[in-house]
Amino acid sequence: MVRCLVASLLFVMIAGCSKQLDDATALANLKADAAKVRQAVSKADNALMADMTYPRVVESVGGREVFISKMKQMSDQMKRDGFTINDAIFAEPTKPIASQSELFALAPYSLMMTAPNGQTGTVPSRLIAISSDGGRSWKFADGTSFSRAQLKSLLPSLPDALALPALPKAQWK
């Protein structure tokens, strides 16, 4: 009898842990994780950026250490070219869409930059947000630089219902 009760309780606990969260909670968690990406971008914290990137993307470039090294190389090249990233301002993410065992959403943001001539710019961008745990935590993949077909190769369960609209052009002042 006790074994049946314990087994039943474990089943309920496990089933409850794997359930998808309601959209409002999932979105709140997405925004909190997007804030970590903002921190990583603003502080050029490549280790944090690796932690916030969808694992399959990190593995596709050779693993965490290679990812961190490549991020540093890109950052150093931008500095040599006279560009500075000042901030990443996130807009409201889209409602999560379930596909297979994952949730997907778009996390649009504006990359605030300074050019070598002192001009400031706003570069519209987006991240694909992916949750493998029902919306409790989110990882991100670049949704700006790649076609849907390229994204599908890294994110096979990327839902067709997740629209990837054209982005406006960068604005420089």
Nearest alpha carbon to residue 103 among 161, 17, 39, 38: 161
Model pLDDT for residues 52-84, shown as the tens digit of each residue: 999 999 999 999 999 999 999 999 999 999 999
What is the average pLDDT score of the chain?
Answer: 90
* Rounded Cα distance, 136 and 65, in Å: 26
Q: For 20-157, CATH number?
A: 3.10.450.50
Is residue 120 a contact partner of residue 114, using CB atoms and an 8 Å limit? yes
Tokens found for residue 9: 């309780």
Tokens found for residue 12: 């309920």
Full-model pTM: 0.86
Model pLDDT for residues 134-154, shown as the tens digit of each residue: 999 999 999 999 999 999 999
19: pLDDT confidence band, cut at 50, 70 and 90? low
Residue % of the chain over a pLDDT of 70: 89
Q: Is the pLDDT of residue 12 over 60?
A: no
* Rounded Cα distance, 105 and 97, in Å: 6
